[in-house]
Amino acid sequence: MKYKICMRLIVVVVCVMLASCNVVRVSKGDTLYSISRRKNVSVRALIERNHLVAPYTLKVGQRLIIPRTEYYRVHKGDTLYSIAKRHNMTVSSLARLNKLSAPYTLSVGQRLQVSDWGNKSSTKPQKTVAKGTTKVQKNEKEPNVVPKKITVPKSAKGKRFDRPSSGKIISQFGTSNGIHNDGINFAGKVGDPIKAADAGTVVYAGNELKGYGNLLLVKHDGGWITAYAHNDKLLVKKGAQVARGQKIATMGKTGSVKTPQLHFEVRYKTKVVNPMEYLK
């Protein structure tokens, strides 16, 4: 009798440990999107926590760490920068996670989603604060961000891409007002043509990446990848071969933007580079 009770306790403990474990094994048919829905986390959080790179192919049996979702209540005097620093996040990732846009006005008592992996924040209980508003301070010092050095071999430095859109560039590559842009953004109208910057293979066509809307990723010879986000319609599917200058999508305002535009990125072996240095 005692043996049976002991075994039951062991089973219960094991079940509790497995339930609290933040690791899952990929099963046949799983995608980042299906796992994110099942575990109630964003696709972006899965990608960043597991250091995944495009085209985000999963293998059966692969282990994925599931980041826990936690929230923070805004206090009087808080700014986006101070909250991001407290939770070991970047301002851009915190703003993107909560779909915030400039000028990043915060309300006292507002609940913000934060990522707690690598969290170095205080464990002191939070106090209840009366409702009110507080704005991000204009003169607040931003952290000194040292950009990672991107090593592109001499043989690849001569690479040139066509402009994917004829629209005006409204957002440059790099960090501005605490927000980092991994690419450049072109303005335009819904339905404007989006063209392939070079010949290649479509390795992703969908809308599973939070904030990017309808997104295309095209892989090119030599380890290059171009990304086209916020599209209205995708005119090619995953696996399609596209030619330089081919119309592959139409401009839209899907994802985290409110006006029609194209977010365009250039990557060399998973590392983002400034598209302006490679456009004709």
pLDDT over 80 (residue 44): no
Least confident range of 42-56, 95-109, 120-134, 152-166: 120-134
pLDDT over 60 (residue 7): no
Tracing tokens 């497995």 back to the chain, one arrives at 18
Rounded distance between C-alpha atoms, residue 185 and residue 201, angstroms: 22
Domains in the chain, ordered, with CATH? 23-67 (3.10.350.10), 72-134 (3.10.350.10), 169-277 (2.70.70.10)
pLDDT digits (tens, 9 = 90+) for 106-115: 888 888 877 5
pLDDT over 50 (residue 134): no
Rounded distance between C-alpha atoms, residue 198 and residue 214, angstroms: 19
Answer with the residue of higher pLDDT: 8 or 41: 41
pLDDT over 60 (residue 272): yes
- Mean pLDDT, residues 41-51: 77
Q: What is the pLDDT of residue 1?
A: 53
pLDDT over 50 (residue 153): yes
Answer with the residue of higher pLDDT: 37 or 218: 218
Residue 101 region, left (φ>0) first, then alpha (ψ -120 to 50), else beta? beta
Largest CA distance in the chain: 79
Answer with the residue of higher pLDDT: 260 or 49: 260
Answer with the residue of higher pLDDT: 176 or 7: 176
Tokens (6 digits) for 121: 């924040």
Tokens (6 digits) for 148: 């990672």
Per-residue confidence band for 254, with pLDDT thresholds at 50, 70 and 90:
very high
Buried b (16+ CB within 10 A) or exposed e, 23-44: ebebeeebebeebbeebebbbb
pLDDT over 50 (residue 117): no
Rounded distance between C-alpha atoms, residue 254 and residue 133, angstroms: 29
Query: Which residues make beta-bridge pairs with 107?
Result: 133
Answer with the residue of higher pLDDT: 132 or 219: 219
